Structure 1
Amino acid sequence: MATILLVDDEKRIREGVSRALKAMGHDVATAADGAEALDTMAEREPDVVITDLFMPGMDGMQLLAAAKERHPRSVVIIFTGRGTIESAVSAIKDGAFDYITKPFNLDAVEVVVNRAVAHRKLLVENASLKDQIGRANSYENIIGGSETMRDVYRVIDRIKDTWTNVLVTGESGSGKELVARAVHFSGAFKHKPFVTVDCASLSENLLESELFGHVKGAFTSAHRDKTGYFETADGGTVFLDEIAEFSSHLQTRLLRVIQEGEFSRVGETASRRVKVRIIAATNRNLEQAVRSGAFREDLFYRLNVISINVPPLRKRIEDIPDLVEFFLSKFNKKFGKNISSVSSDALAVFAEYDWPGNVRELENLMERTFIFCDDDVMRVHHLQEPLKTIAGLAKTEAVPDLTDLNYKDAKEAVIRRFGREYFEELLEKCEGNISEAARRSGIDRGCFYRLIKKFNVDKPEYTQE
């Protein structure tokens, strides 16, 4: 079904063609002249405009130009008499899709309109694809060169050109959707549809309708047929965010799509075929959900063909400087500021924090800090909570009276003092050589580097070798 605007100064033609188009299943609006047509177009964008070539006031050529300016993706068809075919051809050169000569039969109208509707669909799909590709949907959107992230990149590179279903796991805010987009847009699927579904934000009935579509009359508010996300993504990728929220009924329907490549819209009995790659994501333990009976075991194994675990930020703190630099650039543009860097002391506080909200929390805290920073360098005193508290703890040199603390806090205070003193003395003996210090401590160099940041070791210079 398409939205069609029919423009003709002859009432008989408007009414006759309008009835025929509605019988074909289209939503039709009519206008007696160009001015009325422009008023209608101001309220909504028509998929197809059918206009007479010669009308009082604004003629069809002028309306064509105005329609293309206002709605470039609207497809325009011209009505013309036999003696004015040359003018109709001229209209096609100026952007009209086709013309229909008067007198005409309704079968001819249906053929041209169906072609126009198909052309409009292609225009919309191409515009959507160009918009998606125009965004930086690639590995560049995932910030971090740590070993754990390189493991993620290696898996993406292996699967990006395949139809294999993927399960992306990780804590909230860790970047699961960015990984899903990287899988899609870095490989052979990048020119195909990518459809994101937030499963946690929709009720079961609404989610079913959004995923599979529905037919007119399927339920009270189903006033027209609706195409679902699976049909929209045919040939491409569907990203199901928070798949653990699926009810048992929806799990069964999804399993049929994966196994058979078939589904039915809500309210219809006929089956439709579709070919999609499914990337599902969750921050919950699906294996535990399988054991408890909350998630189908057969569906789990169908989704978990390839698993990508996105590490939490606290397990890749060496990526924090790169992430901070990325957000510096982003928020400088957003707030019109020119903050050039973050001080090393402030970065040490960032490394000290556990980041329960992961990269999303880092982004939010960076934005909050930006608002209160008027200097060209972001320093410790600019930091907002909870980093301000962390900064205060880092400045505390001595352990307070342990009996004033509960067991957990007392233990952490002792460990903090021990860690700082141990690594400072070790690095001093090794003259700042991190590799030698790591060897003597029996700790992997990457882990050693994270620990000296965690304990805010106060040494001015280090050497890597």
Structure 2
Amino acid sequence: MNRAYTDVRVITATNRDLSAAIAAGTFRADLFYRLNVFPIPVPPLRKRKEDIPMLVEYFVKRYADKMGKQIRKIDKRTLELCQAYHWPGNIRELQNIIERSVILCSGDTFWVDAAWLSSQDPPRLELSGPLTETLHDQEKQLIEAALTESEGKVARPGGAAAKLGIPRSTLDSKIKQLKIMKHKFRSSKL
């Protein structure tokens, strides 16, 4: 039998804190130590603003070539906007913004609309108790919001069940389970 020998190097990347994952028991320590031969920590984009012009240039060229566009220059104001922005979505967010801009670019100068650089981070749920309690609270808030919008109507077109995309029977059982008082949401108009 002939044996073939291979020389393999495994390169991995993560945005998780693996030390914390090991402590929490959600990542195997032995795997971590096998992979952690030569760690290269890469700081988030917001901590290496000097890389942004190079990355913008790279992604503009990549997407312009892919889409057959002749983009010859990058607007100076665009680079200033990109360097001033905090990039909560890191490189993926930068890449997506640039792809969107290249798609919409009709001339030879690349630009980014400042409105696309959201000043808000995505909403985060606050964990205020055990998971089941938190889920029930979130579910109750969604149902109450749908009842408010539908003025307490559950089943009709435009009713809370339709707004939530669930059957009326499911909504009725959730209302009962979560002790929501439907009458509070009914319109006072007669």
* Category of TM-score, reference length = shorter chain: 0.5 to 0.7
Match of 1:288 in 2: 20
Q: How does 1:29-108 map to 2 (within 5 A)?
A: none
Tell me, yes or no, if the aligned pair for 1:339 and 1:378 is still in contact at 8 Å.
Answer: yes
C-alpha distance in 1, partners of 2:85/2:105?
20
| Contiguous gaps of at least 5 residues in structure 2 | 120-190
Alpha-carbon spacing, 1:330–1:296, altered in 2? closer, same or farther (3 Å) = closer
Matches within 5 A, 1:130-145: none
Q: How does 1:322-401 map to 2 (within 5 A)?
A: 322-379=54-111, 382-383=112-113, 385-387=115-117
User: Greater relative contact order: 1 or 2 (C-alpha under 8 angstroms, separation 6 or more)?
Assistant: 2
* Residue number in structure 1 paired with 2:6: 235
2:74 touches 2:109 (CA, 8 Å); kept in 1? yes
Q: In structure 1, list runs of 5 or more residues that go unmatched.
A: 1-117, 119-231, 238-276, 391-465
Pair 279,326 (structure 1): closer, same or farther in 2 beyond 3 Å: closer
Confirm or deny: 8 A CA contact 1:369 1:384 kept in the other structure. Answer: no
Per-residue deviation at 1:296? 3.1
Residue pairs, 1:420-439, within 5 angstroms: none
Tell me: CA distance 1:365–1:300, structure 2 relative to 1, closer, same or farther (3 Å).
same
CA contact (8 A) 1:314 1:355 kept: yes
SS in 2 for 1:309: coil
Equivalent-residue separation in structure 1 for 2:110 and 2:31 (angstroms): 48
Q: 1:126-173, CA deviations, whole angstroms, 9 ceiling, x for partnerless residues?
A: xxxxxxxxxxxxxxxxxxxxxxxxxxxxxxxxxxxxxxxxxxxxxxxx
Show the counterpart of 2:51.
Answer: 319
Q: How far off is 1:348 after superposition?
A: 0.9
Structure 1 residue 385, shift from structure 2 partner:
4.4
The answer to whether 1:297 aligns with 2:68 is: no
How high is the sequence identity, in percent, across the aligned residues? Answer: 47
RMSD, aligned α-carbons: 2.6
- Give CA deviations for 1:312-354 in whole Å, capped at 9, x if unaligned: 2111111111111112222222222222222221111101222
What TM-score do you get using the length of structure 2 for normalisation? 0.53
Q: Do the aligned partners of residues 369 and 303 (structure 1) sit closer, same or farther apart at CA in structure 2, a change above 3 Å counting?
A: same
Matches within 5 A, 1:156-171: none
C-alpha distance in structure 1 between counterparts of 2:7 and 2:91, whole Å: 28
Deviation at 1:308, TM superposition (A): 1.2
The whole-number CA distance in structure 2 between the counterparts of 1:364 and 1:287 is 30
Q: Deviations over 1:94-137 (max 9, x none)?
A: xxxxxxxxxxxxxxxxxxxxxxxx9xxxxxxxxxxxxxxxxxxx
* CA–CA distance in structure 1, aligned partners of residues 84 and 75 of structure 2: 14
Q: Tell me the secondary structure at the aligned position of residue 13 of structure 2.
A: strand
Equivalent residue number for residue 52 of structure 1: none
1:27-86 CA-to-partner distances (Å, cap 9, x unmatched) read: xxxxxxxxxxxxxxxxxxxxxxxxxxxxxxxxxxxxxxxxxxxxxxxxxxxxxxxxxxxx
In structure 1, the partner of 2:39 is: 307
Q: 1:365·1:384 contact (CA, 8 Å) conserved in 2?
A: no
Q: Contact 1:331/1:367 (CA < 8 Å) preserved in 2?
A: yes
Q: 1:288 to 1:378 in 2, by over 3 A?
A: same
8 Å Cα contact 1:339-1:375 kept in structure 2: yes
Taking the aligned partners of 1:279 and 1:338, their CA distance within structure 2 comes to: 35
Change (3 A) 1:337 1:293: closer
Spell out the pairing of 1:182-221 with structure 2 (5 A cutoff): none
